[in-house]
């Protein structure tokens, strides 16, 4: 019996037997996607079960697989959960396939079966990459396939502990007429993989490509369907990669893992603070160290600022790795509350190491780096600066102050400037000179030496 398909408007739900450019119901353009008529979400889980009491459900400790990479285990919340569906997103060429092939080798050597399904490379191409990465596990099976029904058959036949689909944009369902990579194909393929994962207890990894234009149905379409969403960040031409968890039903979110891309593949960075501060100049105005919390991990980061006389009527502002609007706001605080005349100066603020900061604890560090460059005054290289700054110039307390100070102490810093409200939490830490400040004026007096 032939499967019937319909086209449904994503905005209003209007149904049509054929595709239309404009929806007659709501007037939206290009909003129709193909769906299978009569199919419902009830087909996702075919096994019948009765409700159970929460206390009667037993969990085994071996419900997680270790990947062999501590950084990835941290991001996943302790390891790979059986029957989970994990989406790994990121720009093309950033290292998604390399990472998954590396963990396949580690899991395979732990006597677990892995099925690696590639829709973009042939078996020989994957073999060449595996040889470069020195991967030789006997439990790793490779197949080049794009038909989701055949992939489902392979999973049922080989019963792998982990299945990897690289990538979801190449997988298609035969009874849909739309091209692979379209919204309907990606959604239907992911629904099938979710059913397979839950029914067979197989952990499934899905690779999702993201384009700059967002033309392909990328990970945004899939985020609500999967259990965990991981994003690779970093520039292709830089060696460091950051793997960030955006969604995780089995662990905390906003955790990050840091890797370095080498000839032999991705290598874990065990001490990210030391990595971020490598090559830091000394005795130069406009540089200061702050401590950012990435999930549960404190990380020391260097902030750099350059303030120079503008040659045009309109001063230029630029921020890299930090919110531009936040930098402009903090410069306004410097002008109004401290009296710095920055209206005729260009200002450039940069986060060294290619990482992005989005927490307010770096506010005081931004202000100190800008003031240091403006006054051409050096900041003590063994000092870190922490604190949130308000519009009235006050320095507010921040969270996880003990972890931040301990991380600075571990890397050889001897002085820390923090909000006065946080002094009680770090009074027992030895070996660190802790200075509490109430406002920006007081902080600059300490940091710039009067």
Q: What is the DSSP string of 414-450?
A: -EEEEEGGGGGGGTT--S-EEEEESBHHHHHHHHTT-
Statement: residue 42 has pLDDT above 60: no
Residues sharing a CB contact under 8 Å with residue 217, sequence separation 6 or more, in sequence order: 169, 181, 182, 183, 185, 186, 187
Structure tokens at 317: 């502002």
173-177, 350-354, 435-439: which has the minimum mean pLDDT? 173-177
**Arithmetic mean of pLDDT, 257-267:** 88
Residues 71-93 have pLDDT tens digits of: 999 899 889 999 999 999 888 88
Q: What's the pLDDT score for residue 51?
A: 87
**Arithmetic mean of pLDDT, 305-330:** 92
C-alpha to C-alpha distance for 322 and 326, rounded to whole angstroms: 8
* 342 vs 294, residue with greater confidence: 342
Residues 56-65 have pLDDT tens digits of: 887 766 578 8
**Arithmetic mean of pLDDT, 191-216:** 81
Q: What's the pLDDT score for residue 450?
A: 52
State how beta strands 228-233 and 240-248 pair.
antiparallel
The answer on whether 90 is annotated among ligand-binding residues is yes
The answer on whether 95 is annotated among ligand-binding residues is yes
* 371 vs 34, residue with greater confidence: 371
**Arithmetic mean of pLDDT, 149-159:** 94
Phi/psi class of residue 291: alpha, beta or left (left: φ > 0; alpha: ψ in -120 to 50)? beta
Statement: residue 41 has pLDDT above 60: no
Statement: residue 371 has pLDDT above 90: yes
The answer on whether 118 is annotated among ligand-binding residues is no
pLDDT grade, residue 33 (50/70/90)?
confident
* 51 vs 306, residue with greater confidence: 306
The answer on whether 103 is annotated among ligand-binding residues is no
Of the chain, the percentage scoring pLDDT greater than 70 comes to 92
Q: What's the pLDDT score for residue 216?
A: 46
* 266 vs 93, residue with greater confidence: 266
Task: Count CB neighbours of 402 within 10 A.
Answer: 14
Statement: residue 100 has pLDDT above 70: yes
Q: What's the pLDDT score for residue 317?
A: 93
For residues 9 and 28, the answer to whether their CB atoms sit within 8 Å is yes
Statement: residue 251 has pLDDT above 80: yes
The answer on whether 92 is annotated among ligand-binding residues is yes
The answer on whether 227 is annotated among ligand-binding residues is no
Residue/partner pairs of 432-436 with CB below 8 Å, 24 or more apart? 432/405, 432/408, 434/405
Q: What's the pLDDT score for residue 398?
A: 95
pLDDT grade, residue 421 (50/70/90)?
very high
Residues 311-320 have pLDDT tens digits of: 878 899 999 9
Q: What's the pLDDT score for residue 235?
A: 66
What is the separation of C-alpha 427 from the centre of its chain, rounded to a whole number of angstroms?
34
Averaged pLDDT of the chain = 87
Q: What's the pLDDT score for residue 214?
A: 41
Statement: residue 177 has pLDDT above 50: yes
Q: Which of 133-137, 145-149, 213-217 has the highest mean pLDDT?
A: 145-149
Q: What DSSP character marks residue 3?
A: P
Residues 380-405 have pLDDT tens digits of: 999 999 999 999 999 999 999 999 99
């Amino acid at each position: 019996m032939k499967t019937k398909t319909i086209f449904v408007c994503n905005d209003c739900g209007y149904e049509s037997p054929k595709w239309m450019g404009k929806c007659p119901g709501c007037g939206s353009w290009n909003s129709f996607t193909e769906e299978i008529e009569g199919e419902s979400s009830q087909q996702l889980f075919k096994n019948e079960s009765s409700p159970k009491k929460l206390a009667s459900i037993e969990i085994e400790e071996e419900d997680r697989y270790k990947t062999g990479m501590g950084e990835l285990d941290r991001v996943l919340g302790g390891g790979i959960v059986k029957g989970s569906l994990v989406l790994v997103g990121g720009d093309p060429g950033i290292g998604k396939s390399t990472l998954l092939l590396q963990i396949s080798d580690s899991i395979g050597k732990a006597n677990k079966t892995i099925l690696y399904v590639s829709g973009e490379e042939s078996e020989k191409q994957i073999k060449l990459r595996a040889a470069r990465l020195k991967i030789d596990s006997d439990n790793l099976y490779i197949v080049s396939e794009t038909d989701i029904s055949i992939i489902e058959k392979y999973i049922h036949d080989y019963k792998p502990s982990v299945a990897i689909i690289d990538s979801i944009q190449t997988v298609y369902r035969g009874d849909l007429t739309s091209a692979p990579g379209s919204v309907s194909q990606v959604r239907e393929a992911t629904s099938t993989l979710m059913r397979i994962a839950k029914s067979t207890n197989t952990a499934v990894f899905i690779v999702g490509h993201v384009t700059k234009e967002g033309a392909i149905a990328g990970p945004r379409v899939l985020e609500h369907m999967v259990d965990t969403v991981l994003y690779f960040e970093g520039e292709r031409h830089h060696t460091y990669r950051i793997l960030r968890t955006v969604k995780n039903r089995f662990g905390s979110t906003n955790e990050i893992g840091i890797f370095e891309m080498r000839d032999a593949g991705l290598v874990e960075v065990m001490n990210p603070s030391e990595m971020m501060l490598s090559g830091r100049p000394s005795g130069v105005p406009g540089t200061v160290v702050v401590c950012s919390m990435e999930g549960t991990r404190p990380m020391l980061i260097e902030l750099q600022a350059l303030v120079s006389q503008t040659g045009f009527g309109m001063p230029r502002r630029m921020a890299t790795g930090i919110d531009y609007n936040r930098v402009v706001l903090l410069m306004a605080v410097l002008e109004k509350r401290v009296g710095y005349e920055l209206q005729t100066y260009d200002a450039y603020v940069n986060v060294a190491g290619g990482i992005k900061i989005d927490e307010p604890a770096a506010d005081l560090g931004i202000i100190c780096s800008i003031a240091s460059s403006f006054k051409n005054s050096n900041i003590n290289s063994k000092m870190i600066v922490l604190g949130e700054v308000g519009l009235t110039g006050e320095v507010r307390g921040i969270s996880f102050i003990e972890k931040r100070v301990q991380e600075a102490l571990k890397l050889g810093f001897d002085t820390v400037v923090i909000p006065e409200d946080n002094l009680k939490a770090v009074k027992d830490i030895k070996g660190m000179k802790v200075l509490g400040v109430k406002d920006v004026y007081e902080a600059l007096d300490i940091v710039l030496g009067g």
